[in-house]
């Protein structure tokens, strides 16, 4: 036995020992993810302590030392003192990087709270002021042609503006969706110096001031072609404004489609168009819908291009080609110009309607666009599997029955669908055997 | 020994592909033509006024085109001041909010918050204008007063015609100012900036994030060393896009400011101006020549936003996240 053998022998015996003495596995513990980001007692204490200290110190400063007054000054000073106190408190227990982490975490949370609170306040303010006008049903069924500024809220409404907005955005979408998506596809699928140039121009145009879009249509459509201000001119102005937004957003979304998917499709023999239609666009669907909806929401709320191109009327006009046509944002703008309280109430009511319209658009977009490719594919797979199982089990004779069952099965979530599939398969094969 | 040269690849496209390419290319051409036409037609329309006015167009502060005395000095500086106020308020807010959503927010809340921000980006500007005029205007006076009292020694925060020691002096000098308009515009551009920044932050590579955390970084350390450097293109791009919107914002600004046609460097003081609100204000009663002058103003705004945007693209294109922002 050499010196070198010894450790090996020992190791082997140790391993054997370990195997012999290892306690038998009793039960399998399923791994539960460890909870991270827990709040410790000391965190809560240091935050609340810092808040108390900051408030106390600020009160002392503002009442005793330097009575400068002002609620805003108080809040700003209190917040700065809070951050400093909090940093000092944390530094008693922790190292410098952790102190920095805590302070920035608090700052980020504060900023987010400020933003969301203010934005919610903006919306809530307009809706609450609009509540005076909204309960009157005539607000949604009449126009303003017979209602003067001094009339109460029970007379007149904004149906003309609602219809005008819908017609204008409809025309604008009919122009921008095909043109915008085609261009976005062009930028992605036909690379080259020309598409790079187009992309640069489009990107530069995203920040095109909406009033410049209005001026452009005013300069061409109305001054050069000599046509009247109309709903159609307004839709063109909105289209010019929406187009770059939509192209850029869809371009970004299309670029995120994995090239392996496209290459697989081309490799399987599909042509470019089919690849785009069957692979690229469906993969990017939710992003594209979001792009369209965001552009729509911006287009429907734009006032300035419409101000220059659509003219203003208090009467109902559903013809986009003749006569002035008013839209919701323009109506808001004209209403609140008046000093009459009832007109201002109408303005806020119209703004509430406008926001509701935007909200509805958004909900629709979420419903269409929220469905991911994976989810849709999974559903289709379940359907195909059920279908296949039924056909193979029962033969083509019960195809009609099978199709109905498959359709029901496709509506069930995965687990249930599988269970139903098993059940159906056994039943159908049983029936098939009996038929033989 | 011969050196291998790559075989030259040539593809033959069949008719379907050629048609497909042609159709998409024509879409690109149409869009390009529209976009170039904006500049061309505005230029054509504006040429009458600019050739009559010459270089005085850039120095003159007044706006009386029919008297032959007009220029964009006051409105252009007013526009830029409003945009600067807006962006300097919106940048920290958007940065904080986007970091919160992508890094701090609980998973369950994340989707709701993203939807909320997108929704906020879609709120019409006229609604922000309403809020600014009816709600903010009144409550902003004490803040503006406080700033002007404590920081009045900085020239832009100074306010003429208000003496803090005189109890009878009116506070209306603090309304309808560049500052109020800037706050409203800041609120309008915060969601869109947040949306872009969050998108980029959330794309920062997960491997690098985990690497930083695995090496013992705190969450902020990870953000500073991975997320922010990765997203710097998105931050700049989003800010520039916000700046572009701020420069061009019309209705909200128009509803709030009381227009003046002199250079107004005191941002807290009543009286402000912007190119877009000038157009909205004057287009109704403009003569043919006045309209040409307004087109010239619009062209200036167009060129300024183009420069801002090209600058943004150039910066963004060099950053890591550039392609996706």
The pLDDT assigned to A11 comes to 46
Give B2 to chain A, closest Cα distance, Å. 32
pLDDT digits (tens, 9 = 90+) for A201-219: 888 787 788 888 888 888 8
Chain B contact set for A302 (CB, 8 A): 124-125
Kindly give, in sequence order, each residue whose CB lies less than 8 Å from that of residue B293, ignoring residues fewer than 6 positions away. Answer: B46, B49, B53, B63, B65, B70, B286
The pLDDT assigned to B166 comes to 66
The pLDDT assigned to A15 comes to 47
Say yes or no: A86 contacts chain B, CB-CB below 8 A.
no
Pick the residue with more confidence: A140 or A170? A170
Minimum-distance CB partner of B190 among A115, A329, A332: A115
The pLDDT assigned to B84 comes to 92
Query: In this structure, are residues B284 and B213 in contact, taking their beta carbons and an 8 Å threshold?
Result: no
Residues 13-32 of A with CB under 8 A from B: none
Give A334 to chain B, closest Cα distance, Å. 11
Minimum-distance CB partner of A126 among B42, B127, B187: B127
Q: Angle of helix B178-202 relative to helix B228-248, nearest 10 degrees?
A: 150
Residue in A119, A291, A309, A350 to test binding to B, most B beta-carbons within 10 Å = A119
Residues 64-83 of A with CB under 8 A from B: 68, 70-73
The pLDDT assigned to A432 comes to 57
Residue in A204, A252, A306, A365 to test binding to B, most B beta-carbons within 10 Å = A204
Say yes or no: A119 contacts chain B, CB-CB below 8 A.
yes
The pLDDT assigned to B101 comes to 92
Chain A contact set for B248 (CB, 8 A): 207-212
Residue A410 has pLDDT above 60, yes or no: no
Chain A contact set for B20 (CB, 8 A): 271-273, 276
Kindly give, in sequence order, each residue whose CB lies less than 8 Å from that of residue B287, ignoring residues fewer than 6 positions away. Answer: B65, B66
The pLDDT assigned to A29 comes to 60
Degrees, nearest 5: CA angle B65-B70-B73:
150
Distance CA(B173)–CA(B179), nearest Å, equals 12
Question: For every residue of A3-49, which 3-state class applies, written as one string?
Answer: CCHHHHHHHHHHHHHHHHHCCCCCCCCCCCCCCCCCCCHHHHHHHHH
Chain A contact set for B97 (CB, 8 A): 111-112, 115-116
Residue A9 has pLDDT above 50, yes or no: no
Which of A48-57, A79-88, A301-310 is predicted with the least confidence, judged by mean pLDDT? A301-310
Give A32 to chain B, closest Cα distance, Å. 17
Kindly give, in sequence order, each residue whose CB lies less than 8 Å from that of residue B145, ignoring residues fewer than 6 positions away. Answer: A70, B162, B164, B171, B174
Say yes or no: A123 contacts chain B, CB-CB below 8 A.
yes
The pLDDT assigned to A178 comes to 92
Please report how many Cα atoms fall inside a 13 Å half-sphere around the Cα of residue A68, on the Cβ side: 18
Chain B contact set for A123 (CB, 8 A): 123, 127
Say yes or no: A96 contacts chain B, CB-CB below 8 A.
no
By C-alpha distance, the chain B residue nearest A297 is: B122
Residue A408 has pLDDT above 80, yes or no: no
Q: A109 and B241: CB-CB below 8 Å?
A: no
| Residue-level length of chain A | 436
Pick the residue with more confidence: A410 or A363? A363
Per-residue pLDDT of chain B (325 residues; tens, 9 = 90+): 567 888 887 777 788 888 888 888 998 999 999 888 888 888 888 888 888 777 777 777 788 877 777 888 888 888 999 999 999 999 999 999 999 999 888 888 888 888 888 888 888 888 998 888 888 877 777 777 777 777 777 777 777 766 666 666 666 777 778 888 999 999 989 988 898 888 888 888 889 999 999 998 888 999 999 999 888 888 888 888 888 888 888 888 888 888 777 777 777 777 788 888 888 888 877 788 888 888 888 888 988 888 888 877 777 777 665 544 4
Q: A219 and B302: CB-CB below 8 Å?
A: no
> Domain A159-369 falls in which CATH fold?
MetI-like fold (1.10.3720)
The pLDDT assigned to B137 comes to 79
Residues 254-313 of A with CB under 8 A from B: 255-256, 271-273, 276, 290, 293-294, 297-298, 300-304, 307-308
Which of A15-19, A42-46, A172-176, B43-47 is predicted with the least confidence, judged by mean pLDDT? A15-19
pLDDT category at A315 given cuts 50, 70, 90 is: confident
By C-alpha distance, the chain A residue nearest B128 is: A122
Residue in B12, B25, B31 to test binding to A, most A beta-carbons within 10 Å = B31
Q: Where are the alpha helices (DSSP H) in A131-258?
A: 138-141, 159-189, 193-205, 210-217, 231-255
Query: In this structure, are residues A141 and A154 in contact, taking their beta carbons and an 8 Å threshold?
Result: no
Minimum-distance CB partner of A206 among B38, B187, B309: B309
By C-alpha distance, the chain B residue nearest A68 is: B146
Give A265 to chain B, closest Cα distance, Å. 14
Instruction: Enter the pTM of the model.
Output: 0.78
pLDDT digits (tens, 9 = 90+) for A274-300: 888 889 988 888 788 878 887 888 888
Number of A to B CB contacts under 8 A, please give it.
296
Say yes or no: A108 contacts chain B, CB-CB below 8 A.
yes
The pLDDT assigned to B169 comes to 64
pLDDT category at A324 given cuts 50, 70, 90 is: confident
The pLDDT assigned to A238 comes to 92
Minimum-distance CB partner of A123 among B123, B129, B302: B123
Minimum-distance CB partner of B126 among A104, A209, A329: A329
By C-alpha distance, the chain B residue nearest A255 is: B324
CA B150 to chain centre: 29
Residue A414 has pLDDT above 60, yes or no: no
By C-alpha distance, the chain A residue nearest B300 is: A212
Q: B41 and A206: CB-CB below 8 Å?
A: no
Q: A308 and B301: CB-CB below 8 Å?
A: no
Kindly give, in sequence order, each residue whose CB lies less than 8 Å from that of residue A71, ignoring residues fewer than 6 positions away. Answer: B142
Query: In this structure, are residues A275 and A212 in contact, taking their beta carbons and an 8 Å threshold?
Result: no
Question: The tokens 């500086």 sit on which residue?
Answer: B77
Of the candidates A254, A253, A279, the residue with the CA atom closest to the CA atom of residue A264: A279
Distance CA(A357)–CA(A367), nearest Å, equals 15
pLDDT digits (tens, 9 = 90+) for A65-77: 765 556 777 888 8
The pLDDT assigned to B313 comes to 75
Query: In this structure, are residues B260 and A140 in contact, taking their beta carbons and an 8 Å threshold?
Result: no
Chain A contact set for B313 (CB, 8 A): 200, 203-204
What is the average per-residue pLDDT within A324-351?
Answer: 87
Minimum-distance CB partner of A115 among B93, B218, B305: B93
Which domains does chain B possess?
75-288+302-324 (1.10.3720.10)
What is the average per-residue pLDDT within A300-327?
Answer: 83
Q: B306 and A204: CB-CB below 8 Å?
A: yes
Say yes or no: A197 contacts chain B, CB-CB below 8 A.
yes
What is the average per-residue pLDDT within A268-276?
Answer: 88
Q: A122 and B187: CB-CB below 8 Å?
A: yes
């Amino acid at each position: 036995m050499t010196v070198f053998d010894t450790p090996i022998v020992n190791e082997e015996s140790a391993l054997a020992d370990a195997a012999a003495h290892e306690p038998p596995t009793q039960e399998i513990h399923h791994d539960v993810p460890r909870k991270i980001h827990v709040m410790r007692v000391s965190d809560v204490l240091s935050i609340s302590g810092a808040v108390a200290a900051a408030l106390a110190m600020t009160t002392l400063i503002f009442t005793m030392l330097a009575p400068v007054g002002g609620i805003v000054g108080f809040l700003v000073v209190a917040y700065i003192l809070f951050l400093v106190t909090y940093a000092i408190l944390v530094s008693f227990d922790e190292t410098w990087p952790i102190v920095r982490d805590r302070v920035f975490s608090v700052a980020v949370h504060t900023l987010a709270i400020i933003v969301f609170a203010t934005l919610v306040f903006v919306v809530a303010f307009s809706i609450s002021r609009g509540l005076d006008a909204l309960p009157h049903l005539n607000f949604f069924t009449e126009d303003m042609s017979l209602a003067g500024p001094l009339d109460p809220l029970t007379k007149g409404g904004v149906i003309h503006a609602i219809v005008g907005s819908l017609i204008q955005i409809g025309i604008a979408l009919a122009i921008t969706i095909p043109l915008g998506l085609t261009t976005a596809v062009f930028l992605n699928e036909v690379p080259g110096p020309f598409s790079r140039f187009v992309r640069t121009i489009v990107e530069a145009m995203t920040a095109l001031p909406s009033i410049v879009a209005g001026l452009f249509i005013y300069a061409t459509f109305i001054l050069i072609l000599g046509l009247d201000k109309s709903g159609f001119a307004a839709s063109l102005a909105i289209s010019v404004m929406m187009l770059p937004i939509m192209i850029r957003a869809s371009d970004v979304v299309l670029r995120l489609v994995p090239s392996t998917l496209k290459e697989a499709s081309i490799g399987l023999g599909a042509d470019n168009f089919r690849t785009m239609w069957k692979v690229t666009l469906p993969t990017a669907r939710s992003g594209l819908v979001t792009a369209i909806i965001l552009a729509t929401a911006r287009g429907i709320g734009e006032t300035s291009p419409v101000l220059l191109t659509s003219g203003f009327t208090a009467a109902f006009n559903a013809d986009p080609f003749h006569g002035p046509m008013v839209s919701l944002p323009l109506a808001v703008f004209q209403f609140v110009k008046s000093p009459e309280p009832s007109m201002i109430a109408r303005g806020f009511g119209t703004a509430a309607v406008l926001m509701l319209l935007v909200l509805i658009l958004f909900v629709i977009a979420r419903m269409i666009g929220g469905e991911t490719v994976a989810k849709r594919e999974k559903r289709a797979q379940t359907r195909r599997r059920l279908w296949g199982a039924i056909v193979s089990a029962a033969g083509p004779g019960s195809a009609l029955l099978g199709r109905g069952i498959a359709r029901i099965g496709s509506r069930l979530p995965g687990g249930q669908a599988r269970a139903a599939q098993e059940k159906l398969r056994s039943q159908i094969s049983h029936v098939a055997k009996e038929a033989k | 020994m011969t050196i291998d040269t790559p075989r030259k690849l040539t593809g033959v496209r069949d008719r379907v592909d050629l048609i497909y390419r042609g159709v998409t290319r024509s879409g690109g051409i149409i869009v390009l033509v529209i976009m170039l036409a904006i500049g061309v037609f505005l230029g054509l329309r504006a040429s009458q006024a600019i050739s009559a006015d010459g270089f005085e167009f850039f120095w003159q502060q007044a706006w009386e085109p029919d008297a032959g005395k007009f220029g964009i000095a006051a409105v252009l500086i007013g526009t830029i001041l409003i945009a600067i106020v807006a962006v300097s308020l919106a940048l920290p807010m958007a940065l904080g909010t986007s970091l919160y959503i992508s890094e701090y927010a609980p998973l369950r809340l994340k989707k709701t918050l993203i939807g909320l921000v997108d929704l906020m980006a879609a709120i019409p500007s006229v609604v922000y204008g309403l809020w600014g005029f009816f709600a903010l205007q009144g409550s902003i006076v004490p803040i503006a007063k406080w700033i002007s009292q404590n920081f009045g020694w900085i020239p832009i925060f100074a306010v003429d015609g208000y003496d803090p020691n005189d109890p009878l002096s009116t506070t209306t000098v603090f309304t309808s100012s560049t500052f109020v308009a800037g706050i409203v515009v800041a609120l309008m551009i915060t969601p869109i900036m947040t949306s872009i920044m969050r998108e980029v932050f959330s794309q920062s590579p997960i491997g690098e994030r985990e690497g930083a955390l695995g090496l013992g970084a705190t969450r902020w350390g990870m953000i500073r060393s991975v997320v922010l450097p990765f997203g710097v293109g998105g931050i700049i791009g989003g800010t520039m896009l916000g700046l572009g919107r701020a420069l061009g914002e019309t209705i909200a600004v128009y509803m709030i400011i009381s227009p003046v046609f002199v250079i107004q460097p005191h941002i807290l003081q009543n009286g402000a101006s912007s190119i877009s609100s000038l157009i909205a204000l004057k287009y109704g009663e403009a003569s043919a020549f006045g309209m040409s002058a307004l087109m010239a103003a619009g062209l200036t705004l167009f060129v300024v936003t183009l420069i801002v945007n090209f600058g943004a693209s150039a910066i963004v294109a060099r950053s890591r996240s550039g392609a996706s922002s």
